[in-house]
Amino acid sequence: MRFLKHILFSLIIFSNACFGKEFDKLFVVYEPVEIASQIEKSINNSFNTMVYRLSGSNSPSNIWKIINAGSSRKNFIKSYSIRNIDGSSFLEVNYDKDLLIETFNELSIPILGNSRPVILFLIEIDSGTDDPYYLTSSESYSELDSFLKNFLKKESSSRGIFLELPEIDLMDVNELSNYERLIDFEDIINEKYTFDDLIKINISKIGIDEWLIGGDINQTIGNENFINLFIEQFSNHANTRINKLLEKNLINTSKKGMISVSITNIKSFEDYKKSKGIIENLVGLRDIDISRFDIDTVFYKLGIYGDFDSIVKEISESNFLQITDQFKEKSEININFIR
């Protein structure tokens, strides 16, 4: 099979596959902009993306709810600037986390935390002329490959969710080469990755003018305008699965509470600033007060949105915070700071 020729496949846009990742720079949106006169349009588009990310819904109803309440899109912007990324111009827009969450709360719009689910896509493509292969980010063999990867990259950024393709190492390649008929690629995927959802798609050309779609989508599509028709079906299915997954992670902002948090392993003022900044960036945080210091530990009182479980989930997905103990009945969380 063609994928056996490649030893290492990389992920679409994020590093290592893991479970429930922390979405980096949740309140920073990069929107393409070609000419200066389009900045206003790019600002509007970036605001739409910000609302989609924070609400977990790609419905425009939340956008209009905010605008109809009398809030201008620009009110929520802290700063913006033009950035050049890989030769293309983007508008980098930094949004005001506290104002957004306050507005969502006032309008009874649920919010999502920094911890975001992972969906793994196992897509096998058989053009009928070449060996079948699994879609990866490292290689593109057809226009369809490019369309699929662009869709996943765009939706991942827009919705604030991890949409990933698998990678295999040399050992996997050797196993598949030597025991191709005995080993199922999906078995390797299940052993190597932990994910919230797996979407499996098989795309096969079964005639001169016909394609068969199997797996989680079952449909036969004619060759004429096949890519556009398939991408439409793929987009609808993927967004349905994304919506259901994100709905499970919503934070109910109508609930408010207080918890005690201790962060240990604070060896310097820089450690203190970084660890406190991570806590301050939690979507479920309302306010933060320092209770006391004790050698290498800082004690906080946090006002939170949602409940104990939702803030624990958000903290646990940070790359720099490790929960060592949690006591729900006492609303206490002990954390180790990781450098």
Strand order in the sheet with 332-337: 285-294, 297-305, 256-264, 332-337, 321-327
Residue ranges matching CATH 3.30.70 in the chain? 255-337
What pLDDT score was predicted for residue 59?
Answer: 86
What pLDDT score was predicted for residue 21?
Answer: 67
Cα–Cα distances (Å) from 327 to 316, 324, 332, in that order, read: 14, 11, 5
What pLDDT score was predicted for residue 339?
Answer: 84
What are 300's two structure tokens? 């906080």
| Positions in the chain short of pLDDT 70 | 1-22, 24, 168-185
Residue 262, H or E segment: strand 256-264
What pLDDT score was predicted for residue 113?
Answer: 87
pTM: 0.80
List, for residues 235-271, the tens digit of each pLDDT value: 999 999 999 999 888 898 888 999 999 999 999 999 9
What are 26's two structure tokens? 């949740």
Q: What CATH code is assigned to 255-337?
A: 3.30.70
What pLDDT score was predicted for residue 3?
Answer: 36
What pLDDT score was predicted for residue 184?
Answer: 64
Helices within 13-169 (DSSP H only): 39-55, 61-68, 97-106, 143-159
